[in-house]
Amino acid sequence: MKKNTHPLISFTPETHQHAVDGGLAAIQGMVRACMQCGTCTASCPNAFAMDLAPRQMWRLLLFGLQQEVLESRTFWLCSSCYSCTLRCPRGLPLTAAMAALKRLAGAEGDHANRKKALFYQEFMRNVEQNGRVQEMGFMCHYFLAMRDPLLPLEYTPLGLKLLGKGKLHLGGSAQRGRLGPLFAKVRSMEGAS
Amino acid sequence: MRYAYYPGCSLEASAEEYDISTRRVLNRLGVELSEIADWTCCGASAVEPVSRLLTLALPARNLALAERDAAGLDMLVPCSACYLNHLRVSRECAADRTLPGRINEALGAEGLSYAGKIRVRHLLDVLAKDIGPEAVAAQVSHRLEGLVVAPYYGCQALRPFALFDDPEHPRSMDALISALGATVLGWDMGGRCCGASLMATRRDVALVSVAAILEAAAGADVIVTVCPMCQMNLEAYQSQAHHANTISVLYLPQLLGLAFGLSDGQTLLDKNLAVTDALKSKLRACEAARI
Ligand code: SF4
Ligand code: SF4
């Protein structure tokens, strides 16, 4: 099969971005031994909501059809339950491949893909700044980043419940900045690799 | 028995009842915890979609701290996502010999290094295997006679690494629940995904899983969990999942604590989002039966 090698593209020079490791070729390598048995699809609790069944998506991926794969919502619907990874008769790291596709889509995908990646990126930005994630701060930044005025409303019932339980607080700041050096180092290593 | 303790971010905030009940119950069972000083977030389920190296380096930082400050101790983790993140560092290092060098290069930014010696253990693993049901039964002062409990394991304590339970048909909670005098609900949804972070990104999809789990647990008085994400998904969205009759959801150590005679206050029962009056009166009945 033709090897599809893509240059390393890092999305924007914004400091919190991470480079993609190996692109499509690396993910193809993870599922190369797929024999199309469909056990992954049958095991997936979220397959009902996917446009491509996991088995079909691995096929398109191995054909090198990056655009078709990145246009699919399948990998965004992976909730990391590891059922497919556990059961795949070829022992393929399928959950890790789903996560790698999220990374690829966040870096090389279209606007819609990048927007979906924001949830994870905002979370990690919060971790980088605070050392321990601040649930409240993260949600506020996420709402701002999504620029969707209706989104906070979706979270209001839960927010009120947590508020009533004294669970919505900004948390300690003892570890703030603690992870700065590690994040910076990882970023420089990823840029260099 | 002593463990290095990694509570994780949720247990400092929305899951503080998990943290407090874990500490109190382990204390009663004669277990000592030394919390890793300066621990930081492991990246939860958000890091892998962002950076592969960070996915390993963030938990490796905590492992390095524990190896340095609590040498020889296993690391005990109550959150299943944190557990898997820390556990897989050694697994991936064994599979790819270039990884330890890369991880340590990253940790060098802080003068830390990870040797790969420390063992990572889930709270449930420690309760079921190191402590065991007999030692648990010995602490029970309020037998939970007549209480039907649905053991919910979720995903990442069981999969992909099946270290202490059967990942398809988990049973490790059964003997612990029986040791409290309670009855285990026979069901096959204990290892079914709760939707995890899809609850934030695709709530409609996650709610389908939550509804299926709640429906299957209808015969139980209470669901017990061993992960803050599972707990939140099962307790906070019951009405959105169109589940008519609220079902109580507790953390496993809260249930142990109640059977050990800890008060509602000591187990922080008022922090849970789904505790029904029916459950409370059943617990009162268990208390009264003691005298
Ligand atoms: S279970 Fe494994 S071998 Fe079977 S279709 Fe899925 S990825 Fe391919
Ligand atoms: S790990 Fe992801 S893709 Fe695999 S079965 Fe679970 S949700 Fe589906």
Tokens of B192: 């079914």
The arithmetic mean of pLDDT across residues A83-87, rounded, is 98
Q: Using CA of residue A75, residue A85, residue A46, residue B122, what is the dihedral sign? A: negative
Name every chain A residue with its beta carbon within 8 A of the beta carbon of B229.
none
Residue nearest to atom 3 of ligand 1 (CA): A34
Residue nearest to atom 4 of ligand 1 (CA): A37
Point out the ligand nearest to the CA of residue A92.
1
Question: Residue A133 and residue B202: Cβ atoms within 8 Å?
Answer: no
Q: Is the pLDDT of residue A17 over 80?
A: no
pLDDT class of A169 with cuts at 50, 70, 90? low
Residue nearest to atom 4 of ligand 2 (CA): A84
Q: Amino acid identity of B127?
A: L
Residue that the structure tokens 């953390």 belong to: B251
Query: CB distance from B246 to chain A under 8 Å?
Result: no
Please report the pLDDT score of residue B134 as a whole number: 98
Point out the ligand nearest to the CA of residue B49.
2
Burial degree of B152 (CB within 10 A; 0-12, 13-18, 19+): buried
Residue nearest to atom 2 of ligand 2 (CA): A78
Query: CB distance from B92 to chain A under 8 Å?
Result: no
d(CA A40, CA B75): 32
What number of other Cβ atoms are within 10 A of residue A67's Cβ?
Answer: 12
Size of interface A-B (CB pairs under 8 A): 163
Q: Is the pLDDT of residue A26 over 90?
A: yes
Question: Residue A83 and residue B155: Cβ atoms within 8 Å?
Answer: yes
Per the CB < 8 A criterion, the answer to whether B233 and B199 are in contact is yes
Query: CB distance from B163 to chain A under 8 Å?
Result: no
Residue range B28-57, pLDDT digits in tens: 999 999 999 999 999 998 999 999 999 999
Question: Residue B13 and residue A171: Cβ atoms within 8 Å?
Answer: yes
Q: Is the pLDDT of residue A173 over 80?
A: no
pLDDT class of A144 with cuts at 50, 70, 90? low
Q: Is the pLDDT of residue A14 over 90?
A: no
d(CA A5, CA A3): 6
Residue range A27-45, pLDDT digits in tens: 999 999 999 999 999 999 9
Buried b (16+ CB within 10 A) or exposed e, A24-54: bebbbebbeebeeeebbbebbbbbebbebbb
Of A40, A92, A94, A101, which is best to mutate to test ligand 2, by the most ligand atoms within 8 angstroms of its C-beta?
Answer: A94
Q: Is the pLDDT of residue A172 over 80?
A: no
Q: Give the SS3 label for residue B184.
A: strand
For residue A83, the CA-to-ligand 1 centroid distance in Å is 12
Of A34, A63, A78, A98, which is best to mutate to test ligand 1, by the most ligand atoms within 8 angstroms of its C-beta?
Answer: A34
Please report the pLDDT score of residue A158 as a whole number: 77
Q: Give the SS3 label for residue B195.
A: coil
The arithmetic mean of pLDDT across residues A135-156, rounded, is 65
Mean pLDDT for each consecutive 10-residue tract of chain B (291 residues)?
Answer: 95 92 98 96 92 96 97 97 96 94 97 96 98 98 96 97 96 98 97 93 95 96 96 93 90 98 93 94 83 51
The arithmetic mean of pLDDT across residues A150-165, rounded, is 73
Q: Which residue has the higher pLDDT, A151 or B229?
A: B229
Q: Could you say which of A116, A130, A135 has the minimum Cβ distance to residue B14?
A: A135
Share of chain A above pLDDT 70, in %: 75
Residue that the structure tokens 């991926």 belong to: A61
- Architecture of the domain spanning B2-122: Up-down Bundle (1.20)
Which of B222, B136, B227 is closest to B175 using CA atoms?
B136
Residues touching ligand 2 (Cβ under 6 Å) are A 43-46, 54, 78-84, 94-95, 98
Query: In chain B, where do the E strands start and end?
Result: 2-5, 32-35, 74-77, 120-122, 148-151, 183-184, 222-225, 248-251
Please report the pLDDT score of residue B214 as a whole number: 97
For residue A84, the CA-to-ligand 1 centroid distance in Å is 8
CATH number assigned to the domain covering B132-288: 3.40.50.11810
d(CA B83, CA B76): 8
Per the CB < 8 A criterion, the answer to whether B193 and B164 are in contact is no
Domains located in chain A, CATH noted: 25-108 (1.10.1060.10), 110-193 (no CATH)
Residue range B250-280, pLDDT digits in tens: 999 999 999 999 998 999 999 999 999 999 9
Please report the pLDDT score of residue A20 as a whole number: 62
How many secondary structure helices (H) and strands (E) does chain A include?
10, 0
Q: What is the DSSP string of B38-82?
A: T-----TTTSTTT-HHHHHHHHHHHHHHHHHHSTTPEEEE-SHHH
Q: Using CA of residue A13, residue A19, residue A25, residue A27, what is the dihedral sign? A: negative
Helical pair A54-62 and A94-108, crossing angle rounded to 10 deg? 60
Q: Which residue has the higher pLDDT, B117 or A20?
A: B117
Sheet architecture: strand order including B183-184: B183-184, B148-151, B222-225, B248-251
The arithmetic mean of pLDDT across residues A86-112, rounded, is 96
The arithmetic mean of pLDDT across residues A59-80, rounded, is 97
DSSP-derived letter for residue B269 is G
Question: Residue A182 and residue B57: Cβ atoms within 8 Å?
Answer: yes
Please report the pLDDT score of residue A6 as a whole number: 39
Q: Is the pLDDT of residue A55 over 80?
A: yes
Residue nearest to atom 6 of ligand 2 (CA): A81
Which of B178, B186, B185 is closest to B145 using CA atoms?
B178
Question: Residue B52 and residue A21: Cβ atoms within 8 Å?
Answer: yes
Residue nearest to atom 5 of ligand 2 (CA): A44
Q: Give the SS3 label for residue B223.
A: strand
Name every chain A residue with its beta carbon within 8 A of the beta carbon of B209.
45-46
Chain B residue with the nearest C-alpha to that of A49: B205
Q: Which residue has the higher pLDDT, A166 or A72?
A: A72
What number of other Cβ atoms are within 10 A of residue A153's Cβ?
Answer: 11
Enumerate the domain spans of chain B: 2-122, 132-288
Q: Give the SS3 label for residue B261.
A: coil
Residue range B119-137, pLDDT digits in tens: 999 999 999 999 999 999 9
Q: Is the pLDDT of residue A9 over 60?
A: no
Name every chain B residue with its beta carbon within 8 A of the beta carbon of A171.
12-13
Query: CB distance from B169 to chain A under 8 Å?
Result: no
Backbone angles phi, psi at B16, to 5 degrees: -65, -25
Please report the pLDDT score of residue A156 as a whole number: 73
pLDDT class of A84 with cuts at 50, 70, 90? very high
Per the CB < 8 A criterion, the answer to whether B222 and B249 are in contact is yes
Q: A160, A186, A190: which to substitute to probe chain B, counting the most B Cβ within 10 Å?
A: A186
Per the CB < 8 A criterion, the answer to whether B90 and B120 are in contact is yes
Name every chain A residue with its beta carbon within 8 A of the beta carbon of B9.
132-133, 135
Q: Which residue has the higher pLDDT, A140 or A127?
A: A127
